[in-house]
Amino acid sequence: MLESRSSQLLSIRISKDSAASSSTEQQQKKVLEKVWVSVEKAMGEMRQVLNAQLQDPNRSFEEQEKTLE
């Protein structure tokens, strides 16, 4: 799944006979994969916090609405 997203997000045109271009593409893919993993981790943490806040019965309706905004 990550590989397909990397390919979709990196629209790099390289010639097949260029080793330098291939190396650059591989480096860019590695960077993108690291960033993507970090973003997914952050989103997962935010999702957990949001769910915990929404499930807290001690929070008022107004606080719940603000959480959703």
How many separate domains does the chain show?
1
**HSE-up (13 A, CA, CB side) for residue 29:** 15
Contact between 33 and 1 under an 8 Å Cβ cutoff? The reply is no
What is the spatial distance between Cα 3 and Cα 29, in angstroms, rounded to a whole number? 9
Q: Which domain holds residue 59?
A: 20-68
pTM above 0.75, yes or no: no
pLDDT at 12 > cutoff 80:
no
Q: Is residue 8 part of a domain?
A: no
The residue among 43, 5, 40, 12 whose CA lies nearest residue 26 is 12
Q: Is residue 3 part of a domain?
A: no
Which carries the bigger pLDDT value, residue 68 or residue 2? 68
What pLDDT shows up at residue 32? 95
What pLDDT shows up at residue 68? 81
Q: Band of the pLDDT at 61, cuts 50, 70, 90? A: confident
Summarised one tens digit per residue, pLDDT across range 14-48 is 455 566 678 888 999 999 999 999 999 999 999 99
